[in-house]
Amino acid sequence: MLAVDAIGNWCSKTVPSAASGNRPIQPSQIAHEHNGNCGELQDLLCAAARTCLIPCACAMDILEDHVWCEMWLEDWYPYQIDLGGGPTHIANPGIAYDSDYGGGKNVSCIWSWRNDGYTYDVVSRYSQVCTLSVHVDDPNGLPVDNAAVVIASESYYAPYALGRGTWGETDRDGTIEFVLGDAQNYFIQVTTSMGTYPETGYGLVISESVPGEHYYWSWTAPEPVPSLDVTELPPVTDAPYVIEVEYDLPYDVLNGSIYYGNPTDWYAVNLPEGQLEFFIVSPFNFVRYYLFGNPFDAYEVAHGLTSNHVQFHVPSTEDFSVVLSGGAHHGVATLANVKARLWLNDTVGVPEGADVAVTSLAQPFPNPFTPGARLAFTLAREGSVTLAVYDVRGALVRVLEDGIVEPGAHERAWDGRDRSGHPVASGVYFARMVAAGDVESRKLVLLR
């Protein structure tokens, strides 16, 4: 404790007079210019304490125009100094000047912050408090995560304009909780990609806050949270290859920025046991999902699991994609640990003398191409075949085959024209073949 006091004494003597001039925030400049108010004293004291390896943080009461330090000694304690060799205040909650400790103020929002800009409420160390729980959902009742919530109150000095007091982001359940000072009015602003409350400014949420009271407030965004429109396909058995996937999601990650950072600080907060959507999808369905969010079909669909182990029997020779999707999150990111293996399924046998022909769609040739490309395919047995070209939105461009085809090797050509015979634009297209229950897709790149 003597070291803490000695650091405070040095800082106090280094700043003998009130602030004037350019009001620097760099501790070395403050020590050089020898003047400051509570902000300069906070900056210098925090820097000096950290230099001496004493854990120190900055407590901020923006609305009542006062700041100070906190130090760690098995818990956080108030830590502040006066100008010009005055006393060092240690573990004295009265430094916030709240009426509960003999001061002339009713403090509202007091917060401290980590080095990355993440803030947390500390007002309960300096005043009687109330609690405000905020919940945000969508029209379907689904929680909106990572919604930015700002709490405002009247400033201490005339004209008592509303000012930003504290803020944060909703968790996976669409909820955030604030601890606030008593005897104050509080206002709220919520920002999401699905809408904002209110459209401008702030809306009143608490009038004359009462100590010990727990207030609840909720808001429904006008637009729904994005969701996956996926149909799960039945599992495949006895395929020649197996994709094995193991994953675990240790964290979802909230992210936000501190409004008073210059430049803006971005922070992250880990939420244990992350949650994502999982599926395995063909190239054709992957493009429809990934690029445009259209309804699609997929295998091994799993919603919101923290960990999973999947063995997927590959139904064709297409390039299947393993997808961990955060599409159902509003803003939360997820840390994922994933292992994927491709196995030859040697339990699949071919009876002696059996036909070993397979149904498959070969890679287009040439590719990229201009003006035309050849599409070769083989059929294990006679049957119905549909071979068509689609654009990246999933819209049909041209049908190349739609009928009964004999077994064996075949080839169709596409001349880069649509069903009306008009040349299509340069870009990416997909050839999709459906034959005897098998579906395969291949990407084509047309260059004009």
Tell me the pLDDT tens digit for each residue of 367-418. Answer: 899 899 999 988 888 889 999 999 988 889 999 999 999 988 899 999 999 9
Residues counted in the chain: 448
Domains of the chain are 2-103 (3.10.620.30), 128-220 (2.60.40.1120), 230-344 (no CATH), 360-446 (2.60.40.4070)
To 5 degrees, how large is the angle CA 349–CA 354–CA 358?
A: 75
Average pLDDT of the residues in 213-232: 93
What pLDDT band is residue 356 in, cutting at 50, 70 and 90?
very low
Quick one: pLDDT band at residue 263, thresholds 50, 70, 90? Answer: low
Q: For 312-333, what is each residue's pLDDT tens digit? A: 998 877 788 999 998 778 889 9
pLDDT value of position 236: 82
User: How much is the pTM?
Assistant: 0.77
Q: Contact at 8 Å (CB) between 154 and 162?
A: yes
Q: DSSP letter string over 216-281? A: EEEEE-SSPPP---EEEPPP--S-SEEEEEEEEEEEEEEEEEETT-SSPEEEEEEEES--EEEEEE
Classify 117 as helix, strand or coil. Answer: coil
- Shortest CA distance to 111 belongs to which of 35, 58, 32? 58
Percent of the chain predicted with pLDDT > 90? 69
**For the chain, what is the radius of gyration of the CA atoms?**
32
Above 50 in pLDDT, residue 137?
A: yes
Mean pLDDT of 192-206: 96
3-state DSSP assignment of residue 384: strand
Is 350 a residue whose pLDDT tops 80?
no
